[in-house]
Amino acid sequence: MKGPIADVRRSWNARPMLAVFAAFLAVSQPAGSADTAFLGRTEWVVATVGHSEWCPAGNVRLDLRTGRYALTPRAPRRVCGDVGLERPVIMGRLRAERLEAVRAAYRRVLAQGVENPICRHGRRPDTIIISNGGTPILLVATGATMVSAPNDQSCWGKATTALHDLLDETFGTTQRR
C-alpha cells in the first residue's frame, strides 16, 4: 500500500498503545472501602460551583489531603457575557474545620457511591431535577479510581448531592471558609 495511510500504519507501534491501555485499565479498577481508600495519598474532588442561569459556573479542584484548592469563580452577571472575559484562578487553603466537613462528605460518597441506587438498575427516581443553570459536575478521585456523578442530576445519590452542596456553599460565593 502506498501513500500517507501506509506511512501511518508502518509507524504505529502497538507496544506504547498497549501500555497506555493497560494504564487506563489499572486506573479504572474499583476503589476499596471508604476507610482504605482514604488512607492513600490521593484524595481529590473537582466540582462546578456557583451555577447560574445566566453565567457559566465556576469550578474548584480541592486536594483533601492538604486542603489546597484552585478556584475559578463564576463571573459576576454584569460581565459574564463579555467575549474576552478571563476569570482569575484563586489559590488557597481551606480552614481545618471546613476541610474536615468536606472529607467526611467525601468518605460518604466513597462508601455509598455517586449514583442513586434506583438508577443503578435502570429505573427512574421518584423526583426529577430540572435546572436552567446547567449540569453540575462532580468528580471524586482516589489513588485507585476517579468517578463522576451521573449527567442526570436526578440520579445523584444523597451523599453525592450533599458533597456538591457543601462544595457549592464553600466555594460558590465570594466567601472562602
* CATH of residue 132: 3.30.1560
Tell me how many domains the chain contains: 1
Q: Is residue 105 part of a domain?
A: yes
Q: Tell me what the mean pLDDT of segment 7-12 comes to.
A: 37
At 130, the pLDDT band (50, 70, 90 cuts) reads low
DSSP reduced 3-state for 23 = helix
Q: Tell me what the mean pLDDT of segment 44-65 comes to.
A: 91
SS3 content of the chain, % helix, strand, coil (to 5): 35, 20, 45
Q: Is residue 9 part of a domain?
A: no
Q: What is the pLDDT of residues 19-37, one digit of tens each?
A: 333 333 333 334 443 443 4
pLDDT at 51: 85
Q: Is residue 176 part of a domain?
A: no
Average pLDDT, the chain: 76
- Confidence check: pLDDT of 132 > 80: no
Q: Is residue 11 part of a domain?
A: no
pLDDT at 63: 96
Task: Enter the pTM of the model.
Answer: 0.71
Give me the sign of the Cα torsion angle 36, 38, 42, 43.
Answer: positive
- Confidence check: pLDDT of 64 > 50: yes
Q: Is residue 67 part of a domain?
A: yes
